[in-house]
Amino acid sequence: MTTPQQKPILLTGASGNLGRVLARELAAQGYTLRLTDLTPFPDDLPPGATFTKADLNDGVTILQLAEGCHSILHFGGASVDLPFEVVLGPNLRGMYHVYEAARREGARVLFASSNHSIGFHERPTGNEAKLDADCAFRPDSFYGLSKAYGELMGRLYWDKHGVENLNVRIGSSFPEPIDARMLSTWLSFQDLARLCAAFIEAPKVGHAVVWGASKNATTFWGADHRDRIGWEPQDSSDAFQDKVGNIFSGNPVVERYQGGGYTGNSYSRSQPSPRDAFDLDE
* Structural domains of the chain, ranges and CATH numbers in brackets: 4-264 (3.40.50.720)
The dihedral region occupied by 260, where left means phi > 0, alpha psi between -120 and 50, and beta the remainder, is left
Q: Give Cα 14 distance to the centre of its chain.
A: 14
- Residue 207 pairs with which residues in a beta bridge? 165
- Residue 74 pairs with which residues in a beta bridge? 12, 111
* Eight-class DSSP state of 203: S
Check residue 281 and give its pLDDT. 66
Check residue 93 and give its pLDDT. 96
pLDDT digits (tens, 9 = 90+) for 178-202: 999 999 999 999 999 999 999 999 9
Which of the residues 31, 99, 143, 157 is marked catalytic? 143
| CA–CA distance, 215 with 203 (Å, rounded to integer) | 24
Q: Give Cα 111 distance to the centre of its chain.
A: 6
143 is catalytic: yes
What is the pLDDT of the chain when averaged over all its residues? 95
- % of residues, the chain, pLDDT over 70: 98
Q: Which residue from 193, 192, 172, 169 is spatially nearest to 240, judged by alpha carbons?
A: 172
What confidence category does residue 3 fall into, taking pLDDT thresholds of 50, 70 and 90? Answer: low
What's the whole-number mean pLDDT along residues 171-182?
Answer: 98
Determine how many CB atoms are found less than 10 A away from the CB of residue 254: 18
Largest CA distance in the chain: 60
pLDDT digits (tens, 9 = 90+) for 83-132: 889 899 999 999 999 999 999 999 999 999 999 999 999 999 888 899 99
- % of residues, the chain, pLDDT over 90: 89
Sign of CA dihedral 223, 121, 214, 8: positive
Distances (CA, A) of 236 to 16, 137, 274: 23, 26, 32
Q: Which residue from 10, 146, 153 is spatially nearest to 72, judged by alpha carbons?
A: 10
pLDDT digits (tens, 9 = 90+) for 222-234: 999 999 999 999 9
